[in-house]
Structure 1
Amino acid sequence: MIKDMLKLFITNRKALLGVIILSIFIFIAVFAPLIAPYHPKQSSDQEGKFQLRAAPSSKHLLGTSHAGYDIFSRLIYGTRLSLMVGIVTGVITTFIALTLGLLGGYYGGVIDDIISFINNIFLVIPSLPLIIVIASYITIRGVWPIIFVLSFTGWAWGTRVIRSQVLTVREREFVKVAEVLGEKPLVIVFREILPNIISLVMATFFTSTIAAVIGEATLEFIGLGNISAVTWGTMLYWAQNNAALLYNAWWWFLPPGLFIGLLGTSFALMNFAIDEISNPKIRKR
């Protein structure tokens, strides 16, 4: 079944476009030193110091910042951390949601009651204010604290959806047959239930990754991250702090905003494709 899902995923146009866009970002992140003309914190070369707030030119494709940094180089290098935060947070969040969803949905009883109670609390509390409050109390600034905050606050929705699907799959005949044959619970969960909810797990990962990319940029933008790091979020932070709109310096904020939007679009396209693949009625349309 998983092989069939992967085959359908590859042949789906939306999924293919999403994979192509994501592959481009991964290529940029891996080969950033070869693509970027300068180091992200380099403000001079053999010809002397870079001009401050320079407009886009042949030497600086996206101009320079208030400190004389080449914005195109910072955009390329910023892909590394921004992409890492999104994917790592997506993996952690999906793992937590999958674990809790399987435990609560299959075992039920007291375990399900406890998980559902905690899950409902996280669902009721607005996520963005919660993220900001937790991040503001963390004294260590950097990428990993942001990953921790986003992972800690982002698992509830996925847990609720996965749990509800597990409750449905648990009542199907092949699961009941496995239980009658004396299969161990873990074997039933990973061999019978998990393959049948793999599309939902993938959708949870894509959704969590999109939220993480936007969440990281938001925290960095309001100064709750490491402002000395080179990410798309810190680029927006410095653009806002140095009045980019006042100087009409669109090259300070438009490129990182566009990259955030494109990365989010790639995951959204793959998420839409998962919906089409898992729902034959949508696929037929």
Structure 2
Amino acid sequence: MDRLLRNPKVVIGLAILAFFVLVAIFGPWLISALGLNPRAVDDGAIATPPSADHWLGTNNTGQDLFAQLVVGARGSVVVGALAGTIATVMAVAVGTTSGYLGGTADRTINAIVNVLMTLPGFALLFIIAGYVQNAGYILIALVIGLLGWPGGARSIRAQTLSLRNRDFTSALRTTGESTWRIILVEVIPHLGGVISAMFLSALVGGIFAESSLAFLGLGDTSGITWGTMIAQAQSSGAILRGQWWYFLPPGLCIAIIGFATALINFGLDEITNPKLNSSLAARTRRFNADLARANGRKVTA
């Protein structure tokens, strides 16, 4: 944990994610406390730019976009977090089981995973969302999560195959430890970096998928998310009219979350990857040496 908190990329990424999580949790209460209503119509302010009365302007029906942006964070973040959790849990469960058991079980599970990976995930998501009219956030997240785990399962399986033949797992098997205890207590903790990176990627993928469905007019069209805001901006021609305050804020929020997860993944790579670690240390030593020479001091090893 100390190494994580000393890495600036991880700290900045976690701070950004924590901010959006807090907005998702407390945002609707904040909007109510400010006396705003994301669905209220102001007839005197139709498609107006940001002002003192409407901090992010209004849309083509006179609704406050700041209120919609804050309230919409809950739907988008909930879908991403739930979809990421489902996909990650399934990938870890299937990948570790397949990689550690080996033999017939591994071949059977791997064959099923390979078949599932050939299925067009977004096309299936498109069909399911279109068939279930006005599907709620939870259902959308379930579908995204259930369709997004096969790729992660293959990565976990490859890592588990390596850990299965390590000395510590072999020693535990000889002492009579059960297979599931070795997987839960020894194998999965060693996969922490891979699992966290997988969850962050799945979280962003869930938000992107929900936004894409909303943009196409599918999913929970009655709710407010960043995706529905972008979809409404597109359908009303806000982009062609130059109403940047309509579509830019929700798109920017999605991009910032993606940037935060990328920062965390880069930081985790620097911490867990020995090659990156040694390369970073070497660059730091060279920088310190160059700085010392520039200051005319004697360089020490």
TM range (shorter): over 0.9
2:26 pairs with 1:31: yes
**Aligned in 2, Cα 1:50/1:182: closer, same or farther, shift over 3 Å?**
farther
Residue-by-residue CA offset, 1:90-127 (whole Å, 9 max, x unaligned): 11110000000111011122322222122112222333
Partner of 2:127: 133
- Conserved in 2, the CA contact under 8 Å of 1:218 and 1:233? yes
Partner of 1:7: 2
**Aligned in 2, Cα 1:70/1:50: closer, same or farther, shift over 3 Å?**
farther
Partner of 1:204: 198
**Paired residues for 1:73-222 under 5 Å:** 73-222=67-216
Q: Which residue of 236, 257, 274 maps to 2:251?
A: 257
Gaps of 5+ in 2: 281-301
Partner of 1:57: 51
For residue 246 of structure 1, give the secondary structure of its aligned residue in structure 2. Answer: helix
**Aligned in 2, Cα 1:252/1:195: closer, same or farther, shift over 3 Å?**
same
Structure 1 range deviating more: 253-262 or 266-275: 266-275
CA distance in 1, matches of 2:230, 2:167: 53
For residue 239 of structure 2, give the secondary structure of its aligned residue in structure 1. Answer: coil
- Conserved in 1, the CA contact under 8 Å of 2:134 and 2:218? no
> Could you tell me how far 1:56 is from its partner in structure 2?
1.5
Look up the equivalent residue of 2:20 and give its one-letter code.
Answer: F
Partner of 1:235: 229
- Conserved in 2, the CA contact under 8 Å of 1:143 and 1:226? yes
Look up the equivalent residue of 1:256 and give its one-letter code.
Answer: P
Residue-by-residue CA offset, 1:40-86 (whole Å, 9 max, x unaligned): 11224xxxx44221221110111111221100110011111111111
Partner of 2:41: 43
> Could you tell me how far 1:140 is from its partner in structure 2?
4.7
Structure 1 range deviating more: 172-181 or 26-35: 26-35
- Conserved in 1, the CA contact under 8 Å of 2:4 and 2:271? yes
Q: Which residue of 274, 278, 281 maps to 2:268?
A: 274
> Could you tell me how far 1:34 is from its partner in structure 2?
4.9
Q: How many residues align?
A: 276
CA distance in 2, matches of 1:214, 1:145: 16
> Could you tell me how far 1:239 is from its partner in structure 2?
0.5
For residue 65 of structure 1, give the secondary structure of its aligned residue in structure 2. Answer: coil
- After TM superposition, the score normalised by the length of structure 1 is 0.92
> Could you tell me how far 1:88 is from its partner in structure 2?
1.1
Compare CA radii of gyration and give the structure with the larger one: 2
> Could you tell me how far 1:235 is from its partner in structure 2?
0.2
> Could you tell me how far 1:188 is from its partner in structure 2?
1.0
Q: Which runs of 4+ in 1 moved over 4 A?
A: none
Structure 1 range deviating more: 22-31 or 161-170: 22-31
User: Over aligned residue pairs, what C-alpha RMSD do you find?
Assistant: 1.5
Look up the equivalent residue of 1:16 and give its one-letter code.
Answer: V
Q: Among the aligned pairs, what percent are the same residue? A: 36
2:17 pairs with 1:17: no
- Conserved in 1, the CA contact under 8 Å of 2:76 and 2:226? yes
